[in-house]
């Protein structure tokens, strides 16, 4: 399993456009084959920081997501509302345990 965590700072003046683009990205991404989970959230301490938690079955699912039409469209829209450096971290997970 592969987990990715993205952090996207949003320009407050472009927040509405960002929310619209991110909502569309989340909906389309959750419908992809091989996507276990795809959640777009705002940070509780800073509403202008968006975090995306992505969980994929395998590398093929990640590759399909990164080359999908909706992800490429989002990448084109991103410069219009991003307010700083975007971070993306990948975790290769061999095992999970549900704690609660």
- pTM beyond 0.85, yes or no: yes
Percent of the chain whose predicted confidence (pLDDT) is above 90 = 100
Q: Across residues 61-74, what is the average pLDDT? A: 97
Residues 2-92, CATH architecture: 2-Layer Sandwich (3.30)
Could you say which DSSP state residue 84 is in?
S
Q: How confident is the model at residue 3 (pLDDT cuts 50, 70, 90)?
A: very high
CB 49 within 8 A of CB 9: yes
CB 91 within 8 A of CB 62: no
Q: Across residues 14-34, what is the average pLDDT? A: 97
Distance CA 19, CA 67 (A): 21
């Amino acid at each position: 399993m592969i987990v990715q965590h993205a952090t996207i700072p949003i320009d407050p003046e472009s927040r509405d456009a960002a929310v619209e683009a991110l909502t569309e990205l989340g909906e389309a991404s959750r419908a992809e084959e091989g996507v276990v989970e795809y959640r777009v959230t705002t940070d509780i301490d800073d509403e202008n920081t968006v975090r995306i938690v992505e969980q994929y079955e395998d590398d093929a699912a990640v590759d399909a997501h990164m080359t999908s039409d909706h992800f490429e469209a989002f990448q084109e829209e991103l410069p219009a509302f991003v307010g700083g450096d975007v971070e993306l971290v990948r975790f290769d997970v061999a095992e999970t345990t549900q704690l609660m």
